[in-house]
Amino acid sequence: MFKQPLTDLMLSIDAVIGAISAGNTVVLKASELAPASSSLLAKLLEQYLDPCAVRVVEGAVTETTLLLEQKWNKIFYTGSSRIGRIIMTAAVKHLTPVSLELGGKSHVVIDSDTNLDITVRRIISGKWGCNNGQVCISPDYILTTKEYAPKVIDALKQELEAFYGNKSRESKDMSRIVNLNQFDRLSKMLEEKEVSDKIIYGGQKNRDNLNISPTILLDVPLDSLIMSEEIFGPLLPILMMYGQDGALVVHKVRHELRHQTRIQGLHESVKEH
């Protein structure tokens, strides 16, 4: 978990509060991907809380593996599905109850009834303004009709320049990617053969300073890597719906496609179910 330093602290503390309020002791494994905030969290909890009740463990794979070998009464984890599977597998040995808060594919649905100016500003704020897409509530892709897509694209381009100027990569308001591993993961999405020619805005990146510009893609394949996992970065695909069941087809592509943001009703484009 490495979304935003203050958010990471709050999410971690939220779980701790619930546990100690119920009379439990807690061992908190802080994220190695945000070492500064993890170190601060460890320092503050040791300073203000009873170390016999709450302890913070820093470190990476080795420390996490050792923790998972222990028998716990309960494990709570927030993060990726990949790590969630590892934790669930380890918990089976001791029949430890597990709660997993994992990533998904949050999508935004836009049609011609939408107030496009307001909608686009909110999308930009949630996607790029909020830690450059590195947050779980960030819009992962847009669903719109073929006829309305050009207007959505034009509005996004105009508002992005209004937010960050015509050289967004140089903007001091644009967050960097958290580390090289995440940068390479996002780059792999963009460089996939069926996806690279779908970029209609942005796509520039610099590995030396972990910078990826706001990037819009149009009609990427549903079986592409970018549509197969949570993006967690500044890449925003736009998918065009064809016919009455277009949204449902996309919705059923993967099990993770379960978080939905509705901007306006799509009338006959989306069936409620």
Q: Which of 46, 69, 101, 161 is catalytic?
A: 101
Residue 194 per-residue DSSP state:
H
Q: Decide: helix, strand or coil at residue 93.
A: coil
What whole-number distance in Å separates Cα of residue 199 and Cα of residue 176? Answer: 20
268 belongs to the catalytic site: no
Residue 227 per-residue DSSP state:
G
What whole-number distance in Å separates Cα of residue 12 and Cα of residue 85? Answer: 20
Angle at 234 between CA 59 and CA 120, to 5 degrees: 135
| Contact between 218 and 201 (Cβ < 8 Å) | no
Angle at 209 between CA 204 and CA 211, to 5 degrees: 35
What whole-number distance in Å separates Cα of residue 258 and Cα of residue 144? Answer: 17
Q: Which of 130, 136, 159, 229 is catalytic?
A: 136
What whole-number distance in Å separates Cα of residue 3 and Cα of residue 178? Answer: 9
52 belongs to the catalytic site: no
Burial class (CB in 10 A: 0-12, 13-18, 19+), 210: middle
Q: Give which of 247, 252, 257 is closest to 146, Cα–Cα.
A: 247
Q: Catalytic positions, please?
A: 101, 136
